[in-house]
Amino acid sequence: MKEILEYLKARYLSEKAQGMVEYALIVAFIVGVAAVVFASNGSFSQAVNAGFDKVKTSVEAIGKTKA
């Protein structure tokens, strides 16, 4: 019985640590992306805005043809 409890305890702790590592990796990724965005002197944000503008005009054009 003690062996089973030790096994379950070790498994729970390892899964908890795995979750913490995954969370840390996600946070590090988000920080990295934010650093790239802010270090690009606006060129990245201009590219994103241009992409959204293209999508917006396409959706508006589709809406006008169906109306």
Residue 29 C-alpha from the chain's centroid: 8
pLDDT one-digit tens code per residue, 3-58: 877 877 777 666 667 778 888 899 999 988 887 777 767 677 787 888 899 999 99
| Polymer length of the chain | 67
Kindly report the pTM of this predicted structure.
0.44
The pLDDT of residue 40? 67
Nearest to 33 by CA among 24, 44, 23, 47: 44
Domain segments of the chain: what residues? 2-66
CA distance 50 to 42: 12
Tally: H helices and E strands in the chain: 2, 0
